[in-house]
């Protein structure tokens, strides 16, 4: 914003000099009009918005919710089976957008590509591929509320991974939040299975519905451990790499593109018939727009996360992340007709409470100078890149 203000001052000075040379009869009037140029007002408004805590929180929540909803929309088709291709498009769009922002001067602190760093970071990118693929597959079979609730279990695995590998402690309040997370997941699974059984009238259909849910839970379980491995591995490597801001996101997306493309060409069906099934004419344009947006959303979330931390605090950001679970789960009920039952609503509420208790436990740990055990030490953009991948 300081650069913007300096540019405005320079523009006003240039206009003032130009008026004196071209129209000396205007004198002070021309200078007065130059001083009241609209860019000054616009710059002041933008600066005020840039320092608005409420707007930053709202932007982060909207970016996170929209990415989850869009991901669910793209992968929820009954014929969808080009998952590696979809993730490759995400990474390609994100990488292209980052490079474009760098060329435009928006990402001034993005370091040039370093092949040595790329080789060291490549194993982390492979873990990221496993995390985003298993997450996308789980979201394909599970409803948004159930998916969101089960993602809380990742926090537990990461916490005890931190304790085992980096040394740390888990407070009683954190243990309470873990218990609530497990309980909410059990209730969510029970409500999901019960709704599947009650929603169909034949044993064959019930068996098929339960089979779909079992596949979703299996992918969800793999995603929990893949996510924990990625986060813990990234914590171990990120300090050695000295990555800052958008470096982590840039390398993650760039290095995963060839891996995802190769997996797509080898493992996925690229026949014209299968492509037509995955991209039906009536929804083809919407799917393509959704795929492009999902790539851009990673940057949106990263920027909004850094913005929220900058104008509020890391504590507020953690609280917002916990509270954001509730609107994400509700969005699944609204947009995808997820079953609304006493069990599903209770699970969503418990999941929301568990996230809130966990955030409060983190705040108390920081106040009492206890080593945090559930979040790795990393930059704001690295945290948000992980959030974007998880969504």
What is residue 266's predicted lDDT score, i.e. its pLDDT?
Answer: 93
What is residue 313's predicted lDDT score, i.e. its pLDDT?
Answer: 66
What is residue 93's predicted lDDT score, i.e. its pLDDT?
Answer: 93
Distant-in-sequence contacts of 200-208, Cβ < 8 A, 24+ apart? none
**Rounded mean pLDDT for each run of 10 residues along the chain, 391 residues in total:** 44 42 43 51 71 82 85 79 91 91 80 85 88 89 85 84 75 85 86 70 60 84 90 79 74 90 92 90 88 86 77 70 76 74 83 84 67 42 45 48
What is residue 78's predicted lDDT score, i.e. its pLDDT?
Answer: 63
Q: Please compute, for residue 264, the number of CA atoms within 13 A of its CA located in the half-sphere on the CB side.
A: 20
Place of tokens 């990221």: 128
For the stretch 352-365, what's the b/e string if a residue is b when 16 or more beta carbons lie within 10 angstroms of its beta carbon? bbbbbbbbbbbbeb
Q: pTM surpassing 0.85?
A: no
Domain boundaries of the chain, sorted by first residue: 1-50, 54-390
Longest Cα pair distance anywhere in the chain, in angstroms?
92
Find the DSSP H helices in the chain: 2-22, 28-35, 38-50, 53-75, 83-103, 115-141, 144-166, 172-198, 203-241, 247-267, 272-278, 284-311, 314-323, 325-335, 342-367, 380-390
């Amino acid at each position: 914003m300081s650069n913007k203000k300096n540019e405005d001052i320079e523009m006003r000075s240039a206009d003032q000099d130009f008026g004196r040379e071209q129209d000396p009869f205007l004198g002070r009037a021309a200078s007065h009009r130059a001083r009241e140029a609209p860019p000054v007002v616009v710059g002041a408004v933008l600066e005020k918005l840039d320092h608005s805590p409420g707007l930053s929180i709202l932007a982060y929540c909207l970016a996170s919710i929209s990415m989850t909803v869009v991901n669910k929309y793209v992968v929820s088709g009954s014929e969808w089976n080009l998952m590696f291709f979809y993730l490759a498009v995400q990474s390609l769009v994100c990488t292209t957008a980052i490079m474009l922002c760098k060329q435009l001067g928006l990402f001034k602190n993005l370091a040039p590509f370093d092949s040595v760093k790329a080789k060291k970071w490549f194993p982390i990118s492979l873990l990221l591929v496993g995390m985003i693929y298993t997450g996308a597959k789980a979201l394909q079979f599970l409803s948004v509320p159930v998916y969101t609730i089960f993602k809380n279990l990742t926090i537990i695995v990461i916490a005890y991974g931190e304790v085992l590998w980096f040394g740390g402690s888990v407070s009683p309040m954190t243990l309470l939040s873990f218990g609530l997370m497990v309980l909410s997941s059990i209730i969510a699974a029970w409500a999901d299975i019960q709704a599947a059984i009650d929603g169909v009238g034949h044993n064959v259909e019930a068996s098929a519905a339960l089979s779909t849910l079992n596949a979703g839970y299996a992918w969800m379980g793999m995603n929990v451990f893949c996510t924990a491995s990625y986060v813990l591995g990234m914590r171990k490597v990120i300090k050695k790499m000295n990555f800052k801001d958008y470096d982590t996101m840039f390398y993650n997306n760039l290095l995963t593109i060839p891996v995802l493309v190769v997996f797509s060409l080898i493992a996925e069906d690229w026949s014209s018939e299968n492509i037509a099934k995955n991209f039906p004419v009536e929804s083809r344009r919407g799917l393509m727009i959704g795929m492009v947006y999902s790539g851009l959303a990673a940057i949106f979330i990263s920027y909004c996360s850094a913005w929220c931390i900058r104008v509020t605090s890391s504590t507020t950001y953690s609280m917002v992340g916990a509270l954001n679970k509730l609107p994400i789960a509700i969005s699944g009920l609204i947009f995808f007709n997820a079953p609304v039952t006493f069990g599903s609503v209770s699970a969503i509420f418990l999941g929301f409470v568990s996230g809130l208790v966990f955030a409060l436990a983190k705040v108390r740990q920081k106040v009492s100078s206890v080593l945090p055990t559930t979040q790795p030490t990393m930059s704001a953009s690295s945290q948000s890149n992980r959030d974007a991948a998880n969504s």
